[in-house]
Structure 1
Amino acid sequence: MSPPDERLPDGFRVVLDPRTRRRDGGAALLGGSPLRLLRLAPRARALLTGDALTVTDVTTAALAARLLDTGLAHPDLPPVDPADVTVVVPVKDRAGELDRLLRALRADLPDVPLLVVDDGSADPAATARVCAAFGARVLRHATSRGPSAARNAGLAAATTTAVAFVDSDCVPRPGWLGVLAAHLADPRLAVVAPRIVALPAARPGWVGSYEDAVSALDMGPRPAPVAPLTGVSYVPSAALLVRRAALGAGFDEDMQVAEDVDLVWRLAAAGWRVRYEPAAEVAHEHPARTADWLRRRAFYGTGAALLAQRHGSAVAPVVMSPWSAAAWGLALAGGAPGAVGAGVVLAGATARLAPRLAPRPGDPPPTGLAATLVVRGTWSAGRTLARSATRHHWPLVVPLLGVRRVRRVVVAAAVADAVGAWWPHRREVGLLRFAAGRRLEDLAYGAGLWRGALRARSPRALLPARPR
């Protein structure tokens, strides 16, 4: 279903992302993901005098929408009463976890309808008893059909405007749903997701501090639009608030993994907005045992092949421009000739980009800005290559480790990747534990990625792509 042709309503407020920078006296904004330079027309520049913009008419609505879609700004909305929302919980054989979840939901949302979809539990009576204790309605699948089918059954049974999906191993923090529901003021908003944080483990394992810091379900502390090939390319289905009319039939029931990524990308391709809102938090019970954790990471990796079949290069593990690829290729070749060649490539890219960034035709090209963007892009490409060597393509790299030069480059990439990822979390987890967790996670994910590609008999999930 296509989104309605409606503008943002009056009173809708957006604020610039703290990382957005004004340039040329406020005539341009630099930021977003992917990084871009947005030139403001004189009228738009006059409207955006501060860091916030409130919609009052068609013009301000169009500007606010543009800022949202580029990631240069985010909604700034007070929480609302989630009066037209049904909470849907898919569950199988987790009566204890379900009791914990429903207890938290009822304490925070005493009047919100609760709908539990029992996906073939071995003891349905236990599920029914828990639901009865909290006034939750129960739908039952006689045999397990998977989480996508369970969510879709709840989606079809709900009659409210919105549905909040929450997995049974989650515990939402108070006020979460009101924060998310405020985003429904945007008529083109299909899905908004909270931040998934760690639920303290009853028996913490060694991997717990690593998982708490950088779980694959945690998209970080900053709000963002969600779309493929951006800073936040997906949100997990552990907890989502969705506009029921936007989802149609819902999740793809043929997918037992990555169905949440597929849903988000289909909605984004249809023109809907999907947002990540970390001001709302839902705690999740992460795997405590190392073996369970690694199996889960490998399972996630198998989903890339399914996504490649449906979305092509959106799932590419390496996305970089030809000039970035050329610069890094020359630099890694080593020696003075390689370094000089890389410098020539970057200088050429800067010379080509600078005229396109000039405020008006004939103005002096902003060479400094162009050089900054080229260097930032090249640095980002280098991080992507390092990640690829240690995560996505390590089965290709391992046989080459007998070559001294390759070994030195790969070790340097692995160390730089671990230290760079650890630094923002240095107060939460030690470097050695973090580095060990990072490398084990990457090995497991990469193994799953290759297994999925072999099973699909297609290399598409392994191939690089150019930026769109």
Structure 2
Amino acid sequence: MTTPGTTTAGPGLPPGSVVELGSQVRQYDGGRVLVGGAPPRLVRLAAAAGPLLKNGRIRLDTPLAARLAERLVALGLAHPVVAELPPLETASVTVVVPVRDRAQELDRLLAGIGDGTPVIVVDDGSRAPLAVARVAARHGARLIALAENRGPAAARNAGLRQVRTPYVAFTDSDVVLAPDTLPTLLRHFNDPRLAAVAPRVLGLDTPAPGWLSRYEAARSSLDLGPHPALVHPRSRVAWIPSACLVARVDALGTGFDERLRVGEDVDLVWRLAAEGRRIRYDPTVTARHDHRTRFTNWLARKAYYGTGAHALAERHGSAIAPATLTPWAAVTAAALLAQRPWSVPVAAAVAIGVTRGYARDITAGTADPRRLAASLTGLGLAATAEQTAALLLRHWWPLTAAGCLVSRRVRRATALAAVVDGFLEHRRCAPELDRVRFVLARRVDDLAYGAGVWAGAVRGRSGRCLLPEIRGRRRER
């Protein structure tokens, strides 16, 4: 089995295309040393390779440039510039839309799909099937009607079996596509190693009124952020939603696991990654989604997402871990959470030891190894703080709540994490919502999702989906 994030053998991106370093990649020693990727790595460029990287970009106009670009793309340090890739025919993709009722939303979606693109609508046991059939007929879409509701995975597979084009676009009925969404995503398939790609999923251009709608516009579960990514377990973007997903048909095999009613898109992506196939998230392309804005529906959906963690843990083990920490990060977090007189000295000693280890083993030979080593340690500490807060407030909150009843230290750590995390996320998202309501919505979001995770674990009689993963550091040369 190939390690996730690597690729099978074969040609890469076409000559003349361009790749660009990710915006979160840090450069040292005049650009000779790169730090970033997913999971984070330190990469040294050979003397001949350094000049090929100009203003953070590499044009694939020589064999050496192509090899360097492929290496950086495979490590998640660089991403193709989609505008530099040649277009593919839109007739080469078939749109598959699973739907249950929602005739009005389906009509809105189909109206935005350009002429010449074949469409298959799969009615997944609608209570009013005639309305769905009329919309499909009006837009010239092929209709497949399932006699009973079998779930989104089965509905997509029913459509997939009828696809005769090399590519398929799975799109939920409550999504709105811009005219350039599918054509732009198709350009990515100039990379023959690519199995699937997804856009950034945002709310509607005209969102519903209310604070919850404004929160969802900034912090939807389907919005994976503004930075492109190579998608695989433990990446910064570990999955892509099937709300809008374009894939190479011959890479999908039998498609989605029909036993899953939730998390089927995560399962598909992780199976593809385990096969060594490449999956990409491109936030320069967007699709619009009709987010839930009624509080009870919103809350139920967040919890529903969480229930899928148990089934994913059964299939993919530690890939679903709520946090991935190095041993030194786990010790540092435990020391600081203890809030004892020795906590800060122990955490500081660990950080100093790690920095010295980095300077000796990893950054040796760089122009300023101590500075680079300190930077690596700082990045690790920031990631540790973020993941620890997520454990306290999201995945382990029932334990945190119990601890708050008996321990002042737990109450203090929880309050600090809740406020600091909320304020930092408010600053990052810049929502059209004041800090207080944003932080409250974020905490309720966490409580609902965490409740779903625990409900799934209890029903499945396994806490595997709640266990963090302790992993050693990676180094690339």
TM-score w.r.t. the length of structure 2 is 0.93
What pairs with 1:373-452 in structure 2 (closer than 5 Å)? 373-402=376-405, 403-452=407-456
Runs ≥4 residues deviating over 6 A: none
RMSD: 1.9
- Partner of residue 296, structure 1: 301
- Partner of residue 151, structure 1: 156
Query: Structure 1 427/213 Cα, relative in aligned 2: closer, same or farther at 3 Å?
Result: closer
Matches of 1:425 and 1:57, distance apart in 2: 40
| Residue number among 343, 353, 356 corresponding to 2:348 in the alignment | 343
The superposition leaves residues 26-78 of structure 1 with CA deviations (integer Å, 9 ceiling, x where unpaired) of: 32212223332111123322433442212235433322122112222111122
The superposition leaves residues 169-205 of structure 1 with CA deviations (integer Å, 9 ceiling, x where unpaired) of: 0111221111100100000101100111101567534
Is the CA contact 2:217–2:431 (under 8 Å) kept in the aligned structure 1? no
Q: Which stretch of the first structure deviates more once superposed, 177-186 or 30-39? A: 30-39
SS in 1 for 2:375: helix
SS in 1 for 2:325: coil
- Partner of residue 31, structure 1: 36
What pairs with 1:149-228 in structure 2 (closer than 5 Å)? 149-200=154-205, 203-228=208-233
- Partner of residue 467, structure 1: 471
The superposition leaves residues 289-317 of structure 1 with CA deviations (integer Å, 9 ceiling, x where unpaired) of: 00000000000000111110011111111
2:250 is the alignment partner of 1:245: yes
Is the CA contact 2:99–2:123 (under 8 Å) kept in the aligned structure 1? yes
Aligned length: 463
SS in 1 for 2:284: strand
| Residue number among 209, 213, 236 corresponding to 1:231 in the alignment | 236
Matches of 2:211 and 2:51, distance apart in 1: 54
Matches of 1:379 and 1:18, distance apart in 2: 17
SS in 2 for 1:43: coil
The superposition leaves residues 341-396 of structure 1 with CA deviations (integer Å, 9 ceiling, x where unpaired) of: 11111111112221222455xx7881221122112202211121111111100111
2:76 is the alignment partner of 1:71: yes
- Partner of residue 85, structure 1: 93
Query: Structure 1 203/331 Cα, relative in aligned 2: closer, same or farther at 3 Å?
Result: closer
**Where do 5+ consecutive residues of structure 1 fail to align?**
none
Residue type at the aligned position of 1:377: G
2:118 is the alignment partner of 1:118: no
Matches of 2:27 and 2:250, distance apart in 1: 38
- Partner of residue 104, structure 1: 112
The superposition leaves residues 131-167 of structure 1 with CA deviations (integer Å, 9 ceiling, x where unpaired) of: 1111111111111111111111111111111011110
Matches of 1:377 and 1:4, distance apart in 2: 32
Residue type at the aligned position of 1:433: R
Point out which structure has higher relative CO (alpha carbons under 8 A, 6+ apart): 2
**Where do 5+ consecutive residues of structure 2 fail to align?**
2-6, 473-477
- Partner of residue 59, structure 2: 54
Residue type at the aligned position of 1:437: A
Matches of 1:244 and 1:57, distance apart in 2: 31
Is the CA contact 2:15–2:61 (under 8 Å) kept in the aligned structure 1? yes
The superposition leaves residues 243-288 of structure 1 with CA deviations (integer Å, 9 ceiling, x where unpaired) of: 1011111111111000111111111111111111112111101012
| Residue number among 264, 269, 272 corresponding to 1:267 in the alignment | 272
Matches of 1:154 and 1:62, distance apart in 2: 38
Q: Percentage identity across aligned positions?
A: 47
How far off is 1:427 after superposition? 4.8
Q: Which stretch of the first structure deviates more once superposed, 403-412 or 238-247? A: 403-412
2:102 is the alignment partner of 1:94: yes
Is the CA contact 1:93–1:122 (under 8 Å) kept in the aligned structure 2? yes
Matches of 1:136 and 1:387, distance apart in 2: 44
SS in 1 for 2:58: strand
Matches of 2:150 and 2:140, distance apart in 1: 25
Is the CA contact 1:116–1:154 (under 8 Å) kept in the aligned structure 2? yes
Q: Which stretch of the first structure deviates more once superposed, 120-129 or 49-58? A: 49-58
SS in 2 for 1:83: helix
Query: Structure 1 430/130 Cα, relative in aligned 2: closer, same or farther at 3 Å?
Result: same
Matches of 2:213 and 2:14, distance apart in 1: 44
Matches of 1:340 and 1:77, distance apart in 2: 49
Matches of 2:372 and 2:436, distance apart in 1: 38
Matches of 2:63 and 2:275, distance apart in 1: 23
Is the CA contact 1:205–1:289 (under 8 Å) kept in the aligned structure 2? no
Matches of 1:190 and 1:146, distance apart in 2: 23
Residue type at the aligned position of 1:384: Q
- Partner of residue 4, structure 2: none
| Residue number among 11, 14, 27 corresponding to 1:9 in the alignment | 14
Query: Structure 1 100/297 Cα, relative in aligned 2: closer, same or farther at 3 Å?
Result: same
2:141 is the alignment partner of 1:136: yes
Matches of 1:300 and 1:259, distance apart in 2: 11
